[in-house]
Amino acid sequence: MPRCISRPGKAVLGIALVVLLSPTLVWAQDVPRVRLVATGGTISNRTGGRLTAEELVASMPGIERYAKPEFEQFSNLASSELTLDQWVTLARRLNEIFRTDPAIAGLVVTSGTDTLEELAYFLDLTVRSDKPVVVVGSMRNPSTLGYEGAANLLEGFRVAASPDARGKGTLVVLNDEINAAREVTKTDALRLNTFQTRGYGILGVVDADRVAFYRAPLKRHTARSEFDIASVPKLPRVDVLLVYQGADGDLIKAAADAGAKGIVVAGAGAGATSGTQQDGIDYATKKGVFVVTTTRAGAGRIASGRGGRGRGNAGPPPDEISRRIAGEDLAPVKARVLLMLALTRTSDPAEIQRMFTEY
């Protein structure tokens, strides 16, 4: 049986390393070390009590063929219960592991699937190593027939152990598929194939014989990121608001009055607003709030100058543009992540637009 050895550390709920001493387990020669950093989620949410990081590692049959697993328990919560402060702490912890343990091959992070894509993109921008961070979860809990968590976790370890995963940023692995953190979206509330990359497709697959990659992300991430989370005391408030027919701009004004430093507008089509929302945007930008235009369509790029007063592609007049940022092809929730980090570094509109272009 595995034996856990604890050591002092800065993780929220402690650290443990798996040391496998059983003579019945034989490691494949020179398999890499991979550490699980568990945060909770459905993958752990067993009836009567949550699975621990140790129990998750023990659930993977055949792991010895691919990696020497280690684990630590960061938290054990639903993903929607993690705070932004915990996001910051988690990113710092992952950076600390890579900095202090250069022999580690990669990291696996468990997360609830509801906000997994947001956490994964945050780590993609803040973990500054070319070694892989792989985020995994499950759609069914451990007490449900057909629970796929152990399979997803094993595949996450395999990807994190793969030399081919280096330099590809934070990866999301579920249902035998590898997606880029920047691009992947949860597309179905219940189905196992929920995580997809619309328009661009998967990065690769995890099959019985090997981990196979077909492409790599081109946008800046991880080791090439300029965002240093070590010096960030707190992430600024950024809200997301949806465009719908006859929408009132008062909600945008309320967000600005409540202290939002940025607002992401999930626009109709290529960024159009409706109702009195443009009045709300004008109010917010005059108060110094940055407004990023994205699309609620699920795919598509917002180019600079698009969006505005519900006038199709005409866009806002020049005097309104200074704090209006084109969200490119980022989903609204991911544009929020990037804007939060951008605002920790600058209040220059041109610099923020550059970041949305490069990331």
Which positions are catalytic?
42
Residue with tokens 């499950």: 138
Q: Which residue, among 254, 229, 263, has the nearest Cα to 336 in the 3D structure?
A: 263
Distance CA 333, CA 315 (A): 22
Q: Which residues pair with 173 in a beta bridge?
A: 178
Q: How far apart are the first and last CA of the chain?
A: 45
Distance CA 15, CA 12 (A): 9
| Burial label, 327 (beta-carbon count in 10 A; 0-12, 13-18, 19+) | buried
Q: Specify the amino acid at residue 341.
A: L
Please count the other Cβ atoms lying within 10 Å of the Cβ belonging to residue 207: 11
